[in-house]
Structure formats: C-alpha cells, structure tokens
C-alpha cells in the first residue's frame, strides 16, 4: 500500500451534484412513507440486510478493506455489488477512504473526524468534500489490490449501474411503492446508519482499548449496522473479522462469517481477543 497521503480537500461551497442527489433521496424517503405496503416494507428490509450487511459490513469493510477473511472470488464480487447498491460509491473509493481514515484517524487528514465537527463527520464531508467517487486513478493509490482487478475498476467507475437495474426490477414487480421503499427510503436509512459509524462512534460510547483515536463502542449503532458499532474494538484490531468481542457485543456480521467458515466457504479468518479486564465488564 502506498504511504503517500492523499488530501481529500474541504470546500466552502457544496458539491452540488452530490448534494442534489442526496437531497432528492431524502425527499423520496419521506414520500415513501405515504405509500406504505407490507410487501414494500419486507422486501426493503431484505435489501437493507443484503446491502448494509453483505455489501458494507462483510464486503467493503471487513473483506475488501481489511482482508480479515477470504471467500471465493464470485462471492467477493457479489458482496461488492451489494456495496455499490448503498449509494456509498464503488469499492475502490470506499476502501481507499476507509484506509485513509485508519491511517489518520481523528488526526489532520482524517476524511471524517468529529474533531472537525459532528455535522462534518456525519455527512458534511460528503456534501462539501472533494468528490472522488469516480476518481479511480487517485483512490487506487490506497487500494492497489482492488485496482489490479478489472471488475473492481469497472464497478468503481459505474457504481450507479446496479442501483438503476435494481430500481427497474423493483418498479416492474412492485410498482411505485416498492420502488420508493426499496430505493429511496432504504438507501437513505442505510446512508445514515453507515455515517453514524463515522460520527457517533467517535463521540459516544465506551472503550475496551486505549487506541490513539476517539473510537467508541456503541450498541445502538451496532444494531443498525449488523455489528459495525463496536468501533473501538475495530480500531484496536482492524484486521479482525469479529468486531463484537464480548459476549454482550452482538455482531450479526461475525455470526454470518462464522457460519461461512464452518461451511468451508470463508478461510483465513482473523479473530481478535478481548483483554481479560474488559471481558469481565458487565453489559450496561
């Protein structure tokens, strides 16, 4: 991995394309609430699980960024496509940004630290930061492993294509309610859940490890993100496939990796251990 520091510039004026798109998705999310259907609710919940759990937690984060386990290439690609369906950019952009975050966590150069403001860490860095979603050449400096794979290069450049295809399928089979819930509402909730890992878990919660950053463990963020809220554990052991290290730190993503390992699908699984002192802590 390159040790060159990529400066993700901060601007006084918003990135208008990103701002308009996210604004429309938020408006669409509110509008979806007025065209409720049980079919739309349950299918959207399934897509949320596939995109946030498979796509972000198991895929972009624990597999593609930190290589905490291995799976067959076809499953690795599937996780990446699920990640693209979150509207959080392609795999090279996401992985590069997160690796920069770990290298500069809560220090100058961190793309989304609450030390620059809670609003900035949650979504300001997306709205006012430099748009590099499609700058595959620049972001590849922090994700050279992915940049060597033509599929990941294509998906990074065309990360919006899976979303368009999914939207067409949802509209064809469920009409406007399913489209609005499965695209606008589901994406908006997923974005804020992921952004809370950047903001809330660097401000509130408890710490099992004395890391050099402000990372915290948050049970409610963990519930929303299938285990990503055990952020202090993660910053202490970035390559661990298991984030919830104590018995009361429920980590749904780890449970699924555990099953994949038991079935022989996941291999080379890295698992950290909780210090004895922290392990004796009682759940709050």
Whose structure tokens read 């749904």?
252
- Annotate 64-108 with DSSP letters as a single string: IIT--SB--HHHHHHHHHHHHTTTS--HHHHHHHHHHHHHTTTST
Interval 187-215: pLDDT, tens? 999 999 999 999 999 999 999 999 999 99
CA triple 52-125-2, angle to 5 deg: 80
d(CA 135, CA 131): 8
Do residues 228 and 222 make contact, with C-beta atoms less than 8 angstroms apart? yes
CA distances from 195 to 136, 172, 177 (A): 22, 31, 26
The pLDDT assigned to 193 comes to 98
Check residue 12 and give its pLDDT.
Answer: 64
- Amino acid 97: pLDDT: 95
C-alpha distances in Å from residue 269, one per residue of 167, 220, 240, 244: 35, 26, 8, 15
**pLDDT of 236-262, one tens digit each?**
999 999 999 999 999 999 999 999 999
Alpha-carbon torsion, ordered 59, 63, 64, 66, to 10 deg: 140
| 9: pLDDT strictly greater than 70 | no
For 220-232, write each residue's pLDDT tens digit. Answer: 999 999 999 999 9
Sorted by sequence, the CB contacts under 8 Å of residue 28 that are 6+ apart come out as 180, 183, 184, 185, 188
Three-state SS at 159: coil
8 Å CB contact between 133 and 127 = no
The mean pLDDT value for 144-152 works out to: 96
Global confidence as pTM: 0.92
pLDDT exceeds 50 at position 2: no
- Residue 278's pLDDT band, with cuts at 50, 70 and 90, is low
- Report angle CA 53, 199, 142 to the nearest 5 degrees: 70
Q: How confident is the model at residue 275 (pLDDT cuts 50, 70, 90)?
A: confident
Cα distances (Å, whole numbers) of residue 201 to 152, 223, 265: 29, 13, 31
62-96 pLDDT per residue, tens? 999 999 999 999 999 999 999 999 999 999 999 99
Report domain extents, the chain: 16-205
DSSP state of 202: G
Res. 1 pLDDT band, cuts 50 70 90: very low
């Amino acid at each position: 991995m390159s040790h060159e520091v990529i400066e993700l510039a901060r601007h006084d004026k918003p990135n208008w394309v990103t701002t308009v798109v996210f604004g429309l998705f938020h408006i669409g999310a509110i509008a979806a609430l007025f065209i409720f259907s049980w079919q739309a609710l349950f299918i959207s919940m399934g897509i949320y699980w596939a995109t946030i759990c498979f796509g972000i937690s198991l895929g972009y984060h624990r597999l593609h960024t930190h290589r905490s386990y291995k799976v067959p290439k076809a499953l690795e690609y599937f996780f990446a496509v699920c990640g693209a369906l979150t509207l959080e950019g392609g795999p090279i952009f996401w992985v590069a940004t997160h690796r920069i975050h770990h290298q500069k966590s809560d220090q100058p150069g961190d793309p989304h630290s609450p030390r620059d403001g809670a609003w900035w860490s949650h979504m300001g860095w997306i709205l006012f930061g430099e748009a590099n979603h499609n700058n595959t050449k620049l972001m590849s400096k922090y994700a050279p492993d992915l940049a060597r794979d033509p599929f990941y290069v294509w998906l990074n450049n065309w990360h919006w294509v899976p979303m368009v295809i999914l939207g067409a399928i949802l509209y064809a089979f469920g009409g406007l309610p399913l489209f609005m819930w499965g695209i606008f509402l589901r994406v908006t909730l997923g974005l804020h859940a992921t952004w809370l890992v950047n903001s809330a878990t660097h401000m509130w919660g408890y710490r099992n490890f004395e890391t050099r950053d402000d990372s915290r463990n948050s049970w409610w963020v963990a519930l929303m993100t299938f285990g990503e809220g055990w952020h202090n554990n993660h910053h202490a052991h970035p390559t661990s496939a298991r984030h919830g290290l104590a018995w009361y730190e429920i980590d749904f993503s780890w449970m699924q990796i555990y099953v994949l390992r038991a079935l022989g699908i996941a291999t080379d699984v890295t698992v950290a251990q909780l210090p004895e002192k922290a392990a004796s802590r009682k759940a709050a």
